[in-house]
Amino acid sequence: MTGELGDRIRAARTARGLSLRATAAEAAISPSLLSQVETGKVQPSVSTLYAIVSCLGLSVDDVLGHHPPVAAPARPRMRPDPVQPFSAAPEIVMQNGVTWRSLAVGGDEGMDAVLATYQPGAASSIDETHMRHVGVEHGYIVRGELTLKLEFDTFVLRPGDSLCFDAQRPHYYFNHTDEVAEGVWYIVGSTRRTDADAPVDIRNAVDVLDVMGRLHRRSAG
């Protein structure tokens, strides 16, 4: 998936007429790092991926390569099939041990859904940067333990624990154990822009997923 992700990022950048150096400067990363991400030589961290896609105005479905069908006007886009096999779910593997696998949702109902896997020691950002984004974040821990830092509070999440909070509140996840942690996340009320060229303020991993539906819609259209 790293190579496909890089291809989508490069396609979005060139479609907007942006040079590699200019995009890297806007994302506050080095041109060499951006080049390695685009060519699939490097797996970006969550924070690096945010920084890149925030310059390109994408959606999570775009990042993951979903192919939502074109529906009639004023009706929400829905998946062509009601069931998404596990083997067909788009996946992103990030630099610091976090993997997202997209779950089946419709195209425009303002919901993003991922199966998130945190390897031992993995975190939502390398430097403990707390994320913020639009919507209400719902999560359910399937296995392992995961630490959530929500503003000034710290919670240890275990299998069967669930969570729900306003995602505008600064938050950060990390796996403090020697075992893999996995959970299902739904972000309800995420903002989906209709203008594919409008910039997106991406501050969270789920915003990245929202950023990547746009890339495919742009390339498919």
* Each residue's pLDDT tens digit, 180-190: 999 999 888 76
Q: What is the dihedral of CA 150, 132, 122, 10, to 10 degrees?
A: 180
Predicted local confidence at residue 4, as pLDDT: 79
- Residue 9 pLDDT > 90: no
Structural domain that includes position 76: 2-220
Which of 58-62, 153-157, 213-217 is predicted most confidently?
Answer: 153-157
| pLDDT tens by residue, 136-154 | 999 999 999 999 999 999 9
Give the percent of the chain with pLDDT over 70.
71
CA–CA distance, 9 with 72 (Å, rounded to integer): 28
Stretch 66-92: mean pLDDT:
62
Predicted local confidence at residue 161, as pLDDT: 97
Predicted local confidence at residue 121, as pLDDT: 95
Predicted local confidence at residue 62, as pLDDT: 65
Q: Which one-letter amino acid corresponds to residue 97?
A: G
Residue 117: give its domain's CATH number: 2.60.120.10
Predicted local confidence at residue 77, as pLDDT: 55
Residues shown for the chain: 221
- Residue 36 pLDDT > 60: yes
Who wins on pLDDT, 66 or 4?
A: 4
Which of 18-27, 67-76, 141-150 is predicted most confidently?
Answer: 141-150
- Residue 218 pairs with which residues in a beta bridge? none
Would the pTM of this model clear 0.75, i.e. be above it? no
pLDDT tier at 81, thresholds 50, 70, 90: confident
Backbone Cα Rg of the chain: 17
Stretch 103-113: mean pLDDT:
72
Distances in Å between the Cα of 117 and the Cα atoms of 6, 123, 144 are 21, 10, 10
- Of 33-42, 57-66, 83-92, 158-167, minimum mean pLDDT range: 57-66
Who wins on pLDDT, 103 or 215?
A: 103
Predicted local confidence at residue 129, as pLDDT: 83
Q: Domain count of the chain?
A: 1
For 161-176, b where at least 16 C-beta lie within 10 A, e where not — what string? eebeeebeeebbbbbe
Provide the CA 201 distance to its chain's centre, in angstroms. Answer: 13
Predicted local confidence at residue 203, as pLDDT: 42
